[in-house]
Chain A
Amino acid sequence: MLDSIATTMHKKPRLRLIALLTAPVLWLVVAYLGALATLLVTAFFTIDSFTGNVIQQFNLGNFQDMFTDAAYKNVVLRTLGIAIAVTFICSILAIPMAFYMAKIAKPRSQKVLVALVLTPLWASYLVKIYAWRSMLEPGNGVIDWLLGPIGISSPGFGGPAIIIGLSYLWLPYMILPIYAGLERLPNNLLDASGDLGAHNWYTFRKVILPLIFPSLVAGSMFTFSLSLGDYITAQIIGGKLQMLGNVVYQNFSINLPFAATIATIPVTIMAIYLWLVRRTGALASM
């Protein structure tokens, strides 16, 4: 029986291909795309104002509400701002660290450093953010205790706290792609650049940065999209600030269609982001 199946598969390569692809394609189309499509379709429904049951009739009311209320525009801009700030801070922190790991550290230390960069990912998200909560506590947190004597006080809970927390969380995701990119960078290019009379900063700007640009893009896709959808950090160290994720979280139980409407915003933003990235050609060389 198995023999005949093997023979059929051997004779019909297309059948083989279909058999191999069925499971992943089902996962992609049904579980992922299908779920996404159902969610986006829900954005066009409304709820009965009293019972909260979903009325499945095509309706643009949610989109109208979302566009007319200034509060949602503020949330979108605020979330975008946080995502961009986090990406920027992660890049600035990650590049020197990745450069040291890839180019300067001895091969044995390299492995240790990579392991150390990965270790925080083993700790739970919540544990890390609650640790930040107690550190940022205004008055009796660790930051106030440590930096108080030199006159710096904790930013407390709010936007800066969210940016600090998210940058901390996503930093490993930025370091690793840049590290991988820098590892591939031949050292003789840096030597050549120096020989031709370029200062370090010039070399960095004109030689290194363009070559690690795809890695930066890869890292930024993590930090940007993860920050765009985050809601737990805002709840724990954000004080009363809300991000897009919080709006969805608050609404999904009482007004699912409206939450779906809000959810179309990050999807749209990411689509635009990826389109822009594609235009820069970074995706082609990854």
Chain B
Amino acid sequence: MEVQMHKKRLFSQIAAASVAVLILAGCSSSSDSASSGVPKVDMMKELGAGEGQVNIVAWAGYVENGSTDPNVDWVTGFEKETGCKVNVKNGATSDDMVALMKTGEYDVVSASGDASLRLIYGGDVAPVNTDLIPNYADIFDNLKMQQWNSVDGVAYGIPHGRGANLLSYRTDIVKPAPTSWGSVFDTNSPYKGKITAYDSPIYLADAALYLMKTKPELGIKYPYALDQTQFDAAVELLKAQKPLIGEYWGDYLKHVASLKSGGTVLGTTWQVNINLAKGEGTKVEGIKPVEGSTGWSDTWMISSKAKNPNCAYLWMNHIASPAANAGVAEWFGEAPSNAKSCDLTADKNHCATFHAADDAYWADVYYWNTPTEACLDGRTDVKCVPYAEWVKAWSSLRNS
């Protein structure tokens, strides 16, 4: 009995000691603290030979190799030409993409503005040497060196394309056709329980945008620069909206399936969802409502820990080339970033439809951006609510 007790005590002592050692080991690893300034990450100086593969985190529909639709493929040609095999991981939201890039397992990411700044300041991406990307020269000037893809005159990525979040609706069920975001915020909506919203904290900006246009007394000038009062008003709007929502969508294929089955008849969407739904025979349309919309201007960025940097640069140059950029823009349903792509789209009106060169259209599209404490609209008399608080508020809203 005594030997038993001794063994038991010995065992538990060993177990406790091992656990303690592990905890200490975990604690002693260093973390990047980058709350002041951008971490110093080296920029690649010259291009070498391809490494044989490239690992990409991308929005669904950005990296198509013919498996979704045999006619939609701008990857196979690239693989043959450069010998870089493309491995793609779709991110459902910007938060997903930031998390994936932090693992260091991926080389390239197509980051929207609500991810790009976080990646830059977190030291997860490296500045891009645009001299190594010949196609950079043809990109629309008003997409280069913007607030979300450059810091202090240093470029952190290659502009991809841009689009607006649209209001989708089933043309055979929602009558009359909606024209305003009010239709998804209307507490007396006849479509209660069949409305959807994008499942990400960035959706708060959509609420802020609606308030910007319908409640000017709140003084919101930019949906990503919200002081506490404005922020609380946006949260209240979403709380009032919640009973109307059937499902929040993060997976675009689930949304397409929902639109097709009629489980969702109204709500935020991407053009690619509309295109896929129409392809399956669903009677659906997407519009930019009168208040304007949130949108995204995506940037291809290279990881600071990229294991395949040469293939990464080759990919970024390829996706920015007129042909590939045209292919993506048409498939996804967005405006291309390469000015020469407009001549190469199968639908000659594509650029016109998506307002690629129409600056007036983008005047009321507010690209996803990363809210910071320093107000993005330039106000210095108040503190704005940073993205971490958006995440908390969103989590609270979704769980209540």
Give chain A's interface residues, CB within 8 Å of chain B.
25, 29-30, 33-34, 37-38, 41, 47-56, 65, 69-72, 74-75, 137-140, 156-157, 239-240, 242, 246-247, 250-255
Asked if B134 CB lies within 8 Å of chain A CBs, one says: no
Residues in chain A near residue B396, CB distance under 8 A: 69, 71-72
Complex contact B22–A38 (CB within 8 A): yes
For the A-B complex with A33-B18, A33-B19, A156-B193 known, give 4 more contacts whose Cβ atoms are closer than 8 Å. Answer: A50-B121, A53-B122, A71-B397, A252-B99
A41 to chain B, nearest CB (A): 5
Known: A48-B35, A51-B35, A254-B95. A239 touches B23 (CB 8 A): no
**A253 to B100 CA separation, bound complex (whole angstroms):** 8
What would be 12 A-B contacts, judged by CB atoms less than 8 Å apart? A38-B26, A49-B389, A50-B388, A53-B123, A55-B31, A75-B399, A137-B261, A239-B246, A240-B242, A246-B399, A251-B395, A254-B98
B227-253 vs A: 1/0 string, CB under 8 Å? 000000000000000100111100000
Complex contact A41–B23 (CB within 8 A): yes
Complex contact B391–A254 (CB within 8 A): yes
Known: A54-B31, A137-B261. A247 touches B386 (CB 8 A): no
B260-289 vs A: 1/0 string, CB under 8 Å? 011100000000000000000000000000
Complex contact A48–B261 (CB within 8 A): no
B93 to chain A, nearest CB (A): 9
Known: A49-B388, A52-B122, A74-B400. A253 touches B96 (CB 8 A): yes
Known: A51-B118, A140-B261, A140-B262. A56 touches B27 (CB 8 A): yes
Asked if B387 CB lies within 8 Å of chain A CBs, one says: yes
Asked if B42 CB lies within 8 Å of chain A CBs, one says: no
Taking a contact as CB atoms closer than 8 A, the residue among B22, B35, B96 that contacts A50 in the complex is B35
Residues in chain B near residue A138, CB distance under 8 A: 263
Residue of B nearest to A21 (CB): B11
Residues in chain A near residue B352, CB distance under 8 A: none
Complex contact B398–A240 (CB within 8 A): yes
**A30 to B263 CA separation, bound complex (whole angstroms):** 47
Residue of A nearest to B197 (CB): A240
A187 to chain B, nearest CB (A): 39
Complex contact B388–A255 (CB within 8 A): yes
Residues in chain B near residue A242, CB distance under 8 A: 398-399
Complex contact B387–A49 (CB within 8 A): yes
**A48 to B387 CA separation, bound complex (whole angstroms):** 11
Asked if B372 CB lies within 8 Å of chain A CBs, one says: yes
Residues in chain A near residue B100, CB distance under 8 A: 253
B297 to chain A, nearest CB (A): 20
Complex contact B399–A29 (CB within 8 A): no
Complex contact A37–B19 (CB within 8 A): yes
Asked if B89 CB lies within 8 Å of chain A CBs, one says: no
Residues in chain A near residue B26, CB distance under 8 A: 38, 41
B393 to chain A, nearest CB (A): 10
Asked if B392 CB lies within 8 Å of chain A CBs, one says: yes
Asked if B188 CB lies within 8 Å of chain A CBs, one says: no
Taking a contact as CB atoms closer than 8 A, the residue among A34, A137, A139 that contacts B19 in the complex is A34
Residues in chain A near residue B397, CB distance under 8 A: 71
> Which residues B65-96 have CB closer than 8 A to chain A?
95-96
Complex contact B118–A52 (CB within 8 A): yes
> Which residues B1-50 have CB closer than 8 A to chain A?
11, 14-15, 18-19, 22-23, 26-27, 29, 31-35
Known: A56-B27, A254-B98. A47 touches B388 (CB 8 A): yes
Asked if B102 CB lies within 8 Å of chain A CBs, one says: yes
- Which 5 pairs, one residue from A and one from B, show the smallest C-beta to C-beta distance? A253-B99, A51-B122, A49-B388, A71-B400, A34-B22
Complex contact A30–B372 (CB within 8 A): no
Known: A70-B400, A137-B263, A138-B263. A53 touches B19 (CB 8 A): no
Known: A50-B388, A75-B399. A253 touches B98 (CB 8 A): yes
Residues in chain A near residue B123, CB distance under 8 A: 51, 53
Complex contact A41–B27 (CB within 8 A): yes
Residue of A nearest to B374 (CB): A50
**A252 to B387 CA separation, bound complex (whole angstroms):** 16
Complex contact A240–B246 (CB within 8 A): yes
Residues in chain B near residue A47, CB distance under 8 A: 388
**A47 to B247 CA separation, bound complex (whole angstroms):** 29
Residues in chain B near residue A74, CB distance under 8 A: 399-400
Residues in chain B near residue A251, CB distance under 8 A: 391, 395
B192 to chain A, nearest CB (A): 12
Complex contact A30–B22 (CB within 8 A): yes
Taking a contact as CB atoms closer than 8 A, the residue among A37, A49, A52, A157 that contacts B102 in the complex is A52
Residue of B nearest to A53 (CB): B32
Residue of B nearest to A239 (CB): B247
Residue of A nearest to B370 (CB): A50
**A51 to B39 CA separation, bound complex (whole angstroms):** 11
> Which residues B138-162 have CB closer than 8 A to chain A?
none
B31 to chain A, nearest CB (A): 5
Residue of B nearest to A46 (CB): B388
**A29 to B23 CA separation, bound complex (whole angstroms):** 12
Residues in chain B near residue A29, CB distance under 8 A: 14-15, 18-19
B369-392 vs A: 1/0 string, CB under 8 Å? 010110000000000001111011
Residues in chain A near residue B29, CB distance under 8 A: 56
Residue of B nearest to A141 (CB): B261
Complex contact A250–B34 (CB within 8 A): no
Complex contact B23–A37 (CB within 8 A): yes
**A251 to B100 CA separation, bound complex (whole angstroms):** 13
Residues in chain B near residue A71, CB distance under 8 A: 395-397, 399-400
**A137 to B262 CA separation, bound complex (whole angstroms):** 9
Taking a contact as CB atoms closer than 8 A, the residue among B33, B389, B392, B395 that contacts A53 in the complex is B33
Complex contact B96–A240 (CB within 8 A): no
Complex contact A38–B247 (CB within 8 A): no
> Which residues B343-381 have CB closer than 8 A to chain A?
370, 372-373
**A239 to B389 CA separation, bound complex (whole angstroms):** 25
Residues in chain A near residue B242, CB distance under 8 A: 240
Residues in chain B near residue A140, CB distance under 8 A: 261-262
Residue of A nearest to B243 (CB): A240
Residues in chain A near residue B11, CB distance under 8 A: 25
Residues in chain A near residue B121, CB distance under 8 A: 50-51
Residues in chain A near residue B22, CB distance under 8 A: 30, 34, 37-38
